[in-house]
Structure 1
């Protein structure tokens, strides 16, 4: 009759578990495989972009980062991340010249985004860019 020690049985079981763990197939991911989409947004008074550090980070996978993140991300998704392709809203803006410059930098689904545009006033900014640069207010 063969006698096996407890240590030998444990070592054998441990080796079998290690082999099984290495041979197990990798788990499928349950999330999306698209790269993260994020933009660092700034709005500055005048005709030049803000040079100071800061701004608002809009993240879209899932939407978060500023007050209207869900709306901004939906508008960007409909425009394939191109701010210039966001449909303009049909609004009446005052004929007041108080320029504001909007700047966005980041990535949209893995593609780099760099956007700067100066608008005659904040009403025109909101009409042309929707919720993306709606960083203040309700």
Structure 2
């Protein structure tokens, strides 16, 4: 009869587990967007949500939809698609009351996204939302 020590058995099991862990590919977290990340974006004057039929469709794989799509996709990827979490820019905006309302709906990371916010003017909107609503910027 063959006798295996407990120490040898544990070592063999540990080696087998390590081998299996190395053999299984780990999912890569690249921080990039998924092919299903999209937002329909619209900006309109006043305090009512704009008609999204006249908006722009932002797609992020590859970035397209408006002139600053690459910047917008990068900013959205950094906050997992949560527009309200985009860090505000440190800019000086004129104290001009010309309200605009930004609206977005779509899907990011498999989750639905809805965002509507009225800002005192376009400068404040850009300071709070980065490139996401820069639909007419060069």
Per the TM alignment, residue 50 of structure 1 is displaced from its structure 2 partner at its CA by 1.3
2:113 paired residue number = 113
User: What residue is the counterpart of 1:96 in the other structure?
Assistant: 96
Q: C-alpha root-mean-square deviation of aligned residues, in Å?
A: 1.7
1:134 is the counterpart of 2:137: no
- 50-59 vs 82-91, greater mean Cα deviation: 50-59
Partner of residue 61, structure 1:
61
Aligned 8 A contact 2:63 2:70 in 1: yes
Which one has the largest radius of gyration? 1
Identify unmatched segments of 5+ residues in structure 1. Answer: 1-31
Distance in 2 of aligned mates of 1:37 and 1:115: 15
TM-score normalised to the size of structure 2? 0.74
The count of aligned residue pairs is 107
Using the TM superposition, give the Cα deviation of residue 53 of structure 1 relative to its aligned residue in structure 2, in angstroms. 2.0
**Deviation at 1:109?**
1.4
Q: For structure 2, which runs of at least 5 residues remain unmatched after alignment?
A: 1-31
The offset of 1:54, in angstroms, is 2.1
CA contact 1:35–1:110 (8 Å) conserved in 2: no
Could you report, residue by residue, the CA deviation over 1:49-101 in whole angstroms, capped at 9, with x for unpaired residues?
11362210000111111100000000000011000000100000011110000
Deviations 1:27-66 (A, max 9, x none): xxxxx99451000000000000113622100001111111
Q: Report the TM-score, using the length of structure 1 for normalisation.
A: 0.74
